[in-house]
Amino acid sequence: MSNTQVYWRNQAKDELHKYLKSQKIEKVARNVIFFLGDGMSIPTITAARIRQGQLNNKTGEENVLSWEKFPHVALSKTYNQDHQTPDSAGTATQFLCGIKTNSGVLGVDGSVKPKDCSSMTDKSKVTSIADWSLEKDKSVGIITTTRITHATPGAAYANTAYRNWEVDWQLENVTNKENCPDIAKQLINDYKSSIKVLMGGGRRYFLPSNESDPVIGLNNKDGRRDNRNLIEEWINDKQQRKVNYEYVWNATEFNNIDPRSTEYILGLFNSDHMSFELDKASQPVPEPTLAEMTEKAIRTLRMHDNNKGYFLLVEGGKIDWAHHFGEADYALSETIAMADAVAVADNLTSDEDTLIIVTADHSHTMTIVGYPDRGNPVLGLVKTNGKVAMAGDNLPYTTLAYANGPGAVQSPRRNLTGEHTDEKDFHQQSAIKMGLETHGGDDVAIFARGPMSHLFQGVHEQHYIAHVMAFASCVGEYAKEKDCAAAIANPPKSKPVNPNPSNRGEQNTNSIFLLMLLVFITV
């Protein structure tokens, strides 16, 4: 650890010179890759940065996550139209579809009431950056560590009054349910021929409940009750169209996919959500990592992008689940896994033609507390000046804590001395007792690099993100060249100025000056 004046001054100068040399990339984004860390609050990023550094035998604070190297950073206001603290469905609709909407709904505007299919109309439905990209003949991919029908991926292709209507039987007692087809059905009915890469979990919602799942066998009781096998329907579509495809459900099959010869991929790697990174090694069937899925998706999309480019949505969705469980180690591990995926995308693409955005949908209540020494284990007890710090009750406390959640303190508070607070199943203590920890309402960060990434600066409404993606890649409302980044990258040639009353005096003055100069020269 260096603490000399020269070290810190030189570090600051290097950073200053880096930004002095940086320039805006005012070009059209051929490709857009959008990374969404579900629940990835700013404290989560800070703690994950330190954790990653400490896992590499450093003090941690000086570490830099992959997206923290991006030149442009802003803040996003995450509230939903009807809630101060948002949910993941309303926020996903905001940053993918470009409008503010209500909590709990997907792909619809604020006129739709959550869980009310009767409020759904054709006018209330909205389209997404995925739709806009498809309209311009771009290739599209969606990757997540949650179910592929979950809130964030669902907002890219579904229109529904309730995010939890992922499978048919969840609408059995819903009035006017014909207005709200289940999310899995919408994906296969409407997008099976267009979205080229689909990878995540949620296999059970694509299989009939009376058919065997390759992992859980006949225990697929939460499967479809309409007897539709949506996986087979997806495969049949590819066979009828005579295109190259792969359906895979484990890491071994996934690893065998050749992006050069495979145009369509459907990967459903778990009956439910995919496994946490910390649990992958113990799973009976191996699953690919988020970084591996990201690499496969990019290589596939750019091989089969119709010479128009692509849009790729990548969600690190289990950060959110770990926070809800009050287990910080899981949350930080998932954040680091997403940083690995961003690094892959950064290395495989150029900032001259690919816009990469990294952000979160909402925050959580985890915070970093106390005055721990430099290099103190971020999952450990707070130590100040080498000694374990004591709270007002004369008991030690951890650096990370939650405002609410399952780890609520009792009276008297549990003594953490000698406990392994860095174990993955440890629940950080919280102030308020709740079965699951809740989202937070604070702003989240946006990191960006590539064409038009400089449009992220300051504090933005969350739905602004979709407009930047569309403007940069010339799709959706910005499809015409005069309305998008193309107008800046290729401005029209200037035309000769026609005389008009406002500049005649100036022209006459110039003419007199030139005449006098000519007389002087001839004399």
Q: What is the CATH number of the domain that holds 127?
A: 3.40.720.10
Is 373 inside any structural domain?
Answer: no
Range(s) of the domain holding residue 38: 22-365+438-487
> What is the model's pLDDT at position 523?
41
Residue 200 backbone class (left: φ over 0; alpha: ψ -120 to 50; beta: rest): left
Other beta carbons less than 10 A from residue 383's beta carbon: 18
Q: How far apart are CA 105 and CA 195, in angstroms?
A: 22
Q: How far apart are CA 70 and CA 462, in angstroms?
A: 19
Contact 197, 300 (CB under 8 A): yes
CA angle 407, 410, 412 (to 5 degrees): 135
Contact 314, 294 (CB under 8 A): yes
| Alpha helices (H) in 137-182, listed in sequence order | 151-154
> What is the model's pLDDT at position 495?
56
Structure tokens at 434: 């709740």
| CB neighbour class for 516 (10 Å; exposed up to 12, middle 13-18, buried from 19) | exposed
Q: How far apart are CA 122 and CA 189, in angstroms?
A: 17
3-class secondary structure per residue, 285-346: CCCCCHHHHHHHHHHHHHHCCCCCCEEEEEEECHHHHHHHCCCHHHHHHHHHHHHHHHHHHH
411 part of the active site: no
Structure tokens at 251: 């890491």
Which residues on adjacent β-strands are paired with residue 112?
none
CA angle 346, 351, 352 (to 5 degrees): 150
> What is the model's pLDDT at position 521?
40
> What is the model's pLDDT at position 269?
98
Sheet strands side by side (includes 197-201): 245-248, 264-268, 197-201, 139-147, 310-316, 31-37, 354-360, 444-449, 72-77, 458-461
Is 292 inside any structural domain?
Answer: yes
Is 404 inside any structural domain?
Answer: no
User: Which entry of 88, 124, 133, 430 is annotated as an active-site residue?
Assistant: 88
> What is the model's pLDDT at position 292?
98
pLDDT tens profile 422-451? 999 999 999 999 999 999 999 999 999 999
Contact 291, 347 (CB under 8 A): no
Provide the domain count of the chain: 1
Is 301 inside any structural domain?
Answer: yes
Contact 332, 318 (CB under 8 A): no
Contact 168, 226 (CB under 8 A): yes
Contact 437, 325 (CB under 8 A): yes
> What is the model's pLDDT at position 510?
52
pLDDT tens profile 109-153? 999 999 999 999 999 999 999 999 999 999 999 999 999 999 999
The number of CA neighbours under 13 Å toward the Cβ of 103 is: 12
Is 357 inside any structural domain?
Answer: yes
Is 397 inside any structural domain?
Answer: no
Residue 379 CB partners (closer than 8 Å, separation 6+)? 51, 328, 329, 332, 398, 399, 400, 421, 422, 426
Pairing of strands 31-37, 354-360: parallel
Is 523 inside any structural domain?
Answer: no
CA angle 37, 89, 115 (to 5 degrees): 160
Residues of the chain with pLDDT under 50: 497, 499, 501-509, 511-523
> What is the model's pLDDT at position 512?
44
Structure tokens at 466: 């979709």
User: Radius of gyration over alpha carbons of the chain, in Å?
Assistant: 27
Is 258 inside any structural domain?
Answer: yes
